[in-house]
Amino acid sequence: MVTQGGQAAQTDRHDSGVGVGLIGFGTIGTGVAKVLRQNADVIEQRLGFPLRLVRIADLDLETDRGVDLDGIQFDNDADALIADPGVSIVVELIGGYEVAKRMMLRAIEAGKPVVTANKALLAMHGKEIFDAATRRGVDVAFEASVGGGIPILRSLREGLAANRIESLYGIMNGTTNYVLTEMERTGEDFDVVVKRAQDLGYAEADPTFDLDGIDAAHKLTLLAAMAFGAELTFKEIPTEGIKGLLPVDFEAAEEFGYRIKLLGIAKSHPPEHPGDEERIEARVHPTMIPRASLLANVDGAMNAVAVTGDAVGPTLYYGAGAGEMPTASAVVGDLIEIARDLRRGTAGRVAPLSYQPSELGPKPLLPMGELRGRVYLRFTVVDRPGVLAQITGVLGEHEIGIASVIQKGRAGPIASVPVLMQSHPAPELALRTALAEIDRLADVTAPTRVIRIEEGL
C-alpha cells in the first residue's frame, strides 16, 4: 500500500465526512450534485473522508433534475440550510446580487466557508464579502466564476505565485466566442448567429451581459486583482462588446492575417521613475489577433487565458468556460480544498485574491488615451471618387500611417460601401481625434468601427 507521511492512505469507513449545503439547484447546482455523487469514490480516495451533499435549497421543488436525491434534504429554506449543523460548507449558486450576497454574508457570519460561481457579485461587492470572510476567519472560494472548468484562479494564486505577472489575455466568454467563430465560419449576420446560439443553449435568453462584454469584464476584474494585487471595480474597466460587427469585418480580418476574438486584457506597467506608481492596463474589447497564435485558434464556446510571468514566461490555460459539468468540476474542486482545510482546522491558508488582504489596494488604471497600437478601421462611405483621399488626408494630418486598405465593391444599388484599413502603430488620442473629424465628413454615412489589433500573442 502506498503511504503518505507514514500514514496508511486508507479511509475510515465510519467517518461521516464533511457535509455540504447547496443553495440554488439550477444547471450548475445539478452538475454539482451529479459530480459529488458519481465521483464520490475518487473524491473520498483523495480526501481520506467523504464529501457529502446533505441539503439543497431552491424555490423550484418540482422540476426533476435527473439526480438521485436519496439521503439529501431538499426544500426552499436557505436560512435553515445555513444554520443546519450538518452543513459545514455552503455553496451559493443562485446568481444575482442581493439575495446571493445576503446568503453569503449570513453563511460567513455563521462561520461557514462559502463556494460560489458568482463573478458578477464578486466583481461588484467582492471587497465587502472578502473583508467579512477575513474578519470571521472563513474561506470564500470562487474558482468556477472565471473560465468555468479551467483552474485558472488556482494557477494564478498558487502555481504562479513565484512570479510577477506581466500580462494576461483571456477569451473568457463562451457565448461571444461561439458567435465570433460562427460569424467567421458561415459569413452570417450577427443576429442570425445569436439566435442559433440561443437555440443551441450556448447563449442565455437575455445574452446582454455576454454580448456587451460585461461578463468578461467581471471576470477580468477578478483576474486583475489576483495577478497584480489591484483592487479594481469592474466599472473602471473600459468595456466594448461584439454588437455591430459585420461579416465584412471577418473577411477583412482574414485578408489581413487575423482572427477576431473578444479579449480581456490586463497588463502591468511598472514604475518608470523612482516615486512613480505601478499602473494597470485593463480592457475588454473585440481584438484582431494573428491567425497563427494559440488564442486565435480557441473556437466555439471554449475559453482560454494566456498568462505571462517574469520567471515562467508565457503559459496558457484552455478548457470549457461554461456548462453544467465543467463548472461543477470547479465548484467541487473548491469544496474538496475547503473540506481538507476544515479537517486540518485551518482556514485562510491561501489568500483568496492571491495577495494578502492588507496588500490589495487601488492601483491607477492606464487611461485608454495613453495606449498606442495598430487598429483596424471600417469606414462607411458614399462610393464616389475622392472619398478615400479625404479619409487618408485626415489620418495623415494626425500622423496615422496606413498599412493596407481594402475597398469592397457595391453589392447592389446601395449608396454606401465599406472601406477597410489597418493602421500602423498610432497613439489612441490621435486616432480618436482623427475619427471624430472623419465621421463628420459629408460622405461618411455611419460611425467608423474600430477594432484594436494585438500582435504580441
Q: Interface with ligand HSE by CB under 6 A: which residues?
A: 173-175, 210, 215, 321-322
Contact 188, 182 (CB under 8 A): yes
Contact 393, 379 (CB under 8 A): no
Our CB check for ligand HSE shows the closer of 151 and 309 to be 151
Give the shortest CB-200-to-ligand HSE separation in angstroms.
Answer: 12
Q: Is 235 a catalytic residue?
A: no
User: Distance between CA atoms of 27 and 293, rounded to whole angstroms?
Assistant: 33
Burial (CB count within 10 angstroms: exposed 0-12, middle 13-18, buried 19+), residue 202: buried
Reading phi first (left if > 0) and then psi (alpha if -120 to 50, else beta), residue 227 is in: alpha
Our CB check for ligand HSE shows the closer of 47 and 150 to be 150
Give the shortest CB-201-to-ligand HSE separation in angstroms.
Answer: 11
Our CB check for ligand HSE shows the closer of 175 and 448 to be 175
Our CB check for ligand HSE shows the closer of 50 and 147 to be 147
Number of Cβ within a 10 Å radius of residue 52: 21
Contact 8, 1 (CB under 8 A): yes
Contact 375, 422 (CB under 8 A): yes
Q: Is the dihedral angle over the CA atoms 342, 344, 348, 354 positive or is it negative?
A: negative
Give the shortest CB-179-to-ligand HSE separation in angstroms.
Answer: 10
Element (H, E) at 315: strand 313-320
Give the shortest CB-214-to-ligand HSE separation in angstroms.
Answer: 10
Our CB check for ligand HSE shows the closer of 123 and 375 to be 123
Q: Could you say which DSSP state residue 456 is in?
A: -
Our CB check for ligand HSE shows the closer of 36 and 123 to be 123
Our CB check for ligand HSE shows the closer of 173 and 308 to be 173
User: Distance between CA atoms of 32 and 34, rounded to whole angstroms?
Assistant: 5
DSSP strand pairing (444-453 vs 279-290): parallel
Give the shortest CB-225-to-ligand HSE separation in angstroms.
Answer: 17
* Three-state DSSP class for residue 125: helix
Q: What angle do CA 410, 403, 378 make, to 5 degrees?
A: 40
**Which residues does residue 165 pair with via DSSP β-bridges, in sequence order?**
309
Q: Which of 219, 261, 267, 363 does the annotation list as catalytic? A: 219
Our CB check for ligand HSE shows the closer of 215 and 443 to be 215
Give the shortest CB-321-to-ligand HSE separation in angstroms.
Answer: 5
Element (H, E) at 377: strand 372-382
* Backbone φ, ψ for residue 67 (5° rounding): -120, 140
Give the shortest CB-379-to-ligand HSE separation in angstroms.
Answer: 31
Q: Which residue has the cell 471618387?
A: 385
User: Distance between CA atoms of 149 and 442, rounded to whole angstroms?
Assistant: 51
**E strands in 205-291:** 258-269, 279-290
Give the shortest CB-262-to-ligand HSE separation in angstroms.
Answer: 10
Q: CB-based contacts of 232: which residues, under 8 Å, 6+ apart?
A: 221, 224, 225, 280, 282, 362, 363, 365
C-alpha cell at 65: 433534475
Quickly list DSSP for 245-258.
Answer: --HHHHHHHHHHTE
What amino acid positions are annotated as catalytic residues?
A: 219
